[in-house]
Structure formats: C-alpha cells, structure tokens
C-alpha cells in the first residue's frame, strides 16, 4: 500500500453510522490470540453448501499475518491455496511464520489448521511505503453509480413478486434472501430469467462492508476486501452455463490478490469480474476492485473446481 489512510476524494454516499461498528471487524475477522503468532478464529456466515466461506478464511489469515508486522508496512499481495474442506463447527487455528523481515518488504506465511491438519495455506507480502514515478492503470468501466441501482435484497423481492416465477427459482431466491452476509451488493446489470441462456462469463456489482470501519486502519480495510473478494467470484465462470447445467460441486482451489491504492472497504467499490477460461472441471476468474473515483484499488485471480450435472428438462421426464 502507498499510504496508511484512504482518501475521501471521489467516495460518494454517506458513511455507515459511526455507532454501528462493522460486524466484519468486531466478530467475523476478529481473532483470539493464543500465543505468539498463534490465533484462533471462529465462523459466522456459512454458505448453503455447508462448507466454510473461503473469504472468511482469507480475511482471517491476513489479519493474523498483519499482526506480525510493524505499523509502517502494508500488504501488497497474497497468494493462497485451499487444501482441505473446513468444518464449520470447529474453530480454526492460524499459525504465522515470519518468513522474512526486510528493509522494504516482509513476507509472512500462514497455515490454517483444523483437527491437526492444514486446510489452508497463505503467503502475504508487506511493503513499506515507497514513492515511484512509474504509474499507470486501466480505465474503470462506465457504469451507473450505486445510488441509482436496486440493492440485492430489493432485486430478490422484485423477482419473488413475479407470479410466473418457477418454484425451483423461488426456493433458491428465498434461501439467498435468508443468508446473513455482512456486505451490501448492488448488481450493475441484473439479468432476467429470459437472459440466462445468453449470458457471458462477466459480471459487475457495487459492494461495500456493512457498518463502519473507519479511516486510519488500512490493514483492516485490506482484510475486509480480502473477505469481500471471494463472494460470488467463482460463480462468474458459471454464468454462460447455469441454465444448462446444475452445480454438483464447486469450491475454491487458490486465490491471489494484489493491493494497488488506498481505499475504504466500507465505501462503495465496483467489483468487475470475468472468467477467461473454464475446462477440466475447473474455472478461472479475474477480478478488479475499483474505488468510486475510478482508482484501481485491488486485483484478484482465483481458480476453482466446478463439477456439474446436465439439467433434465421436463419434456424428457
């Protein structure tokens, strides 16, 4: 990171109430210190597949790594592998190894352990602020601002009011609406059911953490962004195929992230996601997190296993 404080310029919309501290900070990403470089994390939101949410593991691992470095260095990249499925009923232990502490860069390795076995490994690199005359970035896509878009919850309620909605979609939407996720999402181009058969493997949505995080703790904003980055990310690879195939199994295999500029995770950011390739029961997705003022805040890449079954039409029954 190039600064310890995210700028306010270009961040439209009011802050969530300062009296409502984000649950991502107070609970979801909060770790219990057991010993030097050893932490225990607990689980909160669990997806419908009853496995641990990968974003929470990434975020908690980055919290553990950040606690082992000095205040004047900030994460610029992380690379993770999910090696085993986690049990939502069992706490996770995070073991931090201080791989290297240098003058400019420091590297930390984090292993998440459950029942004596590693389920996740991560390496994070931190950098002391260094100015550079070499600067460039892509241009942010032109999209409607979040203030002009319906919330994810509003879109679900709108769909549920459709009397022609098939029962299988109604059940899925009700299940999604019941999930307690600590982030707010607004889809840029919501798809109708009629458009599902012609979708590209691309999606964009505005996203921010619910609640107030604050300005000064850039490390925590990065940890929250790591949590956010895994939400609905791998699903981008399914968009052209969802109408034809039913997901049998889907899970993250690896996840990488690079942090480019200061940002506020409790302010709206545009998440631009695309899947350039899928095959071999795997899907690859790329993502870019943009500040509302057009600054590229972070980049993400993930590969996951995706196993599907053909949908059986009623005419064949």
Q: Is 8 within a domain? A: no
Q: Is 163 within a domain? A: no
Point out the residues that are catalytic: 230, 252, 302
Q: Is 12 within a domain? A: no
Res 230: pLDDT: 95
Residue 284 belongs to domain with CATH number: 2.40.160.210
Cα atoms in the 13 Å half-sphere on the side-chain side of 177: 15
- Domain span at residue 202 reads 23-129+182-316
The pTM (predicted TM-score) of the whole model is: 0.86
Res 247: pLDDT: 87
In order along its 317 residues, the chain shows pLDDT tens digits of 333 333 333 344 444 444 467 889 989 999 999 999 999 999 877 776 667 899 999 999 999 999 999 999 999 999 999 999 888 889 999 999 999 999 999 999 999 999 999 999 999 999 999 999 999 999 999 999 999 998 877 776 766 666 766 665 555 545 555 456 789 999 998 876 556 666 899 999 999 999 999 887 899 999 999 999 999 999 999 999 877 888 889 999 999 999 999 999 999 999 999 999 999 999 999 999 999 999 999 999 999 999 998 877 554 44
**Dihedral sign for Cα atoms in the order 150, 27, 273, 12:** positive
Res 3: pLDDT: 33
Q: Is 173 within a domain? A: no
Q: Is 4 within a domain? A: no
Res 107: pLDDT: 98
**Domain count for the chain:** 1
Res 6: pLDDT: 37
Q: Is 110 within a domain? A: yes
Gap between the Cα atoms of 125 and 127, Å rounded: 7
């Amino acid at each position: 990171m190039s600064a310890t404080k995210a700028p306010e310029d270009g961040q439209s919309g009011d802050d969530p109430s300062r009296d409502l501290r984000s649950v991502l900070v107070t609970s979801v990403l909060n770790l219990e210190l057991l010993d030097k470089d050893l932490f225990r994390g607990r689980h909160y939101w669990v997806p419908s597949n009853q496995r641990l949410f990968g974003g929470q593991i990434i975020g908690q691992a980055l919290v553990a790594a950040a606690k082992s470095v000095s205040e004047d260095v900030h994460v610029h990249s992380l690379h993770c592998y999910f090696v085993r499925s986690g049990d939502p009923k069992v706490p996770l232990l995070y073991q931090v190894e201080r791989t290297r502490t240098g003058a400019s860069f420091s590297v930390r390795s984090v292993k998440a352990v459950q029942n004596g076995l590693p389920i996740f490994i991560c390496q994070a690199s931190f950098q002391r602020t260094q100015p550079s005359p070499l600067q460039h970035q892509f241009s942010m896509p032109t999209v409607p601002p979040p203030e002009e878009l319906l919330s994810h919850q509003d879109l679900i309620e709108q769909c549920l009011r459709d009397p022609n909605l098939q029962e299988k979609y109604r059940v899925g939407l009700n299940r999604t609406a019941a999930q307690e996720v600590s982030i707010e999402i607004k889809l840029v181009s919501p798809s109708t059911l009629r458009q599902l058969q012609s979708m590209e493997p691309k999606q964009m949505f505005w996203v921010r953490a619910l609640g107030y995080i604050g300005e000064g703790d850039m490390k925590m904003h990065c940890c929250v962004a790591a949590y956010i980055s895994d939400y609905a990310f791998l699903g981008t690879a399914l968009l052209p195929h969802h109408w034809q195939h039913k997901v049998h199994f889907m899970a993250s295999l690896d996840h990488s992230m690079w942090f480019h500029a200061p940002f506020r995770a409790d302010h709206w950011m545009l998440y631009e996601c695309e899947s350039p390739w899928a095959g071999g029961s795997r899907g690859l997705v790329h993502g870019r997190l943009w500040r509302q003022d057009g600054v590229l805040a972070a980049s993400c890449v993930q590969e996951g296993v995706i196993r599907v079954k053909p949908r059986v039409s009623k005419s064949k029954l």
